Structure 1
């Protein structure tokens, strides 16, 4: 019995199957016509990473399409991996998690290194529960109290990546405006204390982008770049947008994200300077 694909391999396999099909001028109907157990809808779901595929079914599809040699080996190599870390499926409110956010959570669970930047808030992986509730409640979709509670709990559970093996190598950037905007003074005070504590983890780097960086350093939206242990030179990008984080999967998107983070890094305070700025703000608040 074959193992389930990890999230990143499932996405890559779907992307590669679709790319091969389009490069060879095949429609979904062309690829599945006459193939027992297959339909255009099933192949479409696999290409969009909404349905898994095992080794036997992949072999049947590749045989039917006439894929051989190195191309076939490349497809089959994507089937290796352990089970997906879909920990949120057991939560009471799992049904509130959208497919897009589920994809993000699955990839975050698989990632070995994450670069994260938010212009106006502390990164989600270092937020306190109270701060998370405040941020979620301020969202454009005006979530009700139950959704705020659920969203905050998921955000806190995600933070196990910073403490449980294998620990995540995390670099988080945030804009100085995060220190200036808060609905509750106590909430911000506790959040800053927590950020200082988390910044001391050996595998966490926290850096603030000061307002003095101006437009070159302060991005208009958040961005996340994930790296994975099976292919550390590749990555997966999410860009902040109304309603959530939009995924960007191509190599060009990854290179663009790398350039973006290189620019942010140039304007950001060092980790030591960041802690000093946080401590100064803490004195002001207390």
Structure 2
């Protein structure tokens, strides 16, 4: 199952052309602004009550949502908060720069199934589309960014949560829409690992055959690297959960890590989590087949089932 499967079971239908990258940049800025604001508050021994006491329009609850990147804040409103808490010009300049000049809205809000997209998955969508490099690990299925619509429907339907036919269709379609990052500029550099078990678990063999053909085709893209972790790799080739590492153009050594958990993907943002993810992917690379041998294995499986 895809490491995003739990979240994508809640996913809604598509987006309007042209909105994606605008939302992505503002989402990333909003999250970083919240983290910087919280870091300053903690370093200066202030509570959320201290920061907002007596300030009209602000309260600890709202500040908490801003710090966690859940809601946007206008430049004027932020300035009032920073004036109120006595932040220095040097510190506030760095934070105010993160407001940016683009509209801050979620691209899925105008769509029929918008209320089924969780906040966590919405955050992931924005970060994924803003990233320049993505490393992903799937144990028992092909990666979501490489899935055909029919294969995606099979994987999503096999999840823990029962979905209606419409919800399943919406979740499958969003996976396909996400794949535009592989062909539209700026292209996402994708490094994917999947377990050999993905070739052994199938519903409809015709769907699996179509999926394998698609993966072979996409593997030829210059920005895509695909490696299969064979069963012969043993325990070192298996991680305890799905794993995703996203990197961004202005912080090539940083990034966001997402790990699979019951009920969704858990974001991990610290440098320690990024380094742990890097070590995990380094281990997978040592255990995995080369890209060329991976394609050979896929072609062998395709010949077997067709």
Which range, TM-score by smaller chain? over 0.9
2:211 is matched with 191
Q: Distance in 2 between matches of 1:283 and 1:138?
A: 26
Shift of 1:77: 3.5
SS of 1:174's partner is strand
Shift of 1:231: 2.0
2:42 is matched with 22
Shift of 1:84: 5.5
1:117 is matched with 137
2:84 is matched with 64
TM-score, scaled to structure 1: 0.93
Asked whether the 8 Å contact 1:112–1:168 carries over to 2, the reply is yes
1:202 is matched with 222
The worse-fitting range, judged by mean Cα deviation, of 137-146 and 66-75 is 66-75
Q: Distance in 1 between matches of 2:186 and 2:107?
A: 15
Residue 55 of structure 1: which of 51, 75, 90 is its match? Answer: 75
Shift of 1:166: 1.2
Q: CA 1:167–1:82 in structure 2 vs 1: closer, same or farther (change >3 Å)?
A: farther
Q: Distance in 2 between matches of 1:150 and 1:77?
A: 36
User: Is 1:219 the counterpart of 2:239 in the alignment?
Assistant: yes
2:303 is matched with 283
Q: Deviations over 1:82-138 (max 9, x none)?
A: 456843333322221111111111111111111111111111000000100000001
TM-score, scaled to structure 2: 0.87
User: Is 1:271 the counterpart of 2:271 in the alignment?
Assistant: no
Shift of 1:81: 6.4
Shift of 1:38: 1.7
Q: Deviations over 1:17-67 (max 9, x none)?
A: 222223322221110112233222221110121111233322222222222
Q: What is the 5 A alignment of 1:79-94?
A: 79-80=99-100, 82-83=102-103, 86-94=106-114
Q: CA 1:52–1:30 in structure 2 vs 1: closer, same or farther (change >3 Å)?
A: same
Q: Distance in 1 between matches of 2:148 and 2:266?
A: 24
Off by >3 Å, runs of 4+ in structure 1: 80-87
Q: CA 1:273–1:81 in structure 2 vs 1: closer, same or farther (change >3 Å)?
A: farther
Q: Distance in 2 between matches of 1:88 and 1:224?
A: 22
SS of 1:220's partner is coil
1:31 is matched with 51
Structure 2, gaps ≥5 residues long: 1-21
Asked whether the 8 Å contact 1:84–1:106 carries over to 2, the reply is no
Shift of 1:221: 1.2
Q: Distance in 2 between matches of 1:155 and 1:89?
A: 17
2:6 is matched with none
Asked whether the 8 Å contact 2:139–2:197 carries over to 1, the reply is yes
User: Is 1:178 the counterpart of 2:221 in the alignment?
Assistant: no
Asked whether the 8 Å contact 2:72–2:104 carries over to 1, the reply is no
The worse-fitting range, judged by mean Cα deviation, of 253-262 and 65-74 is 65-74
The worse-fitting range, judged by mean Cα deviation, of 14-23 and 212-221 is 14-23
Q: Deviations over 1:165-220 (max 9, x none)?
A: 11111111101100000111111111000000000011111111111111112112
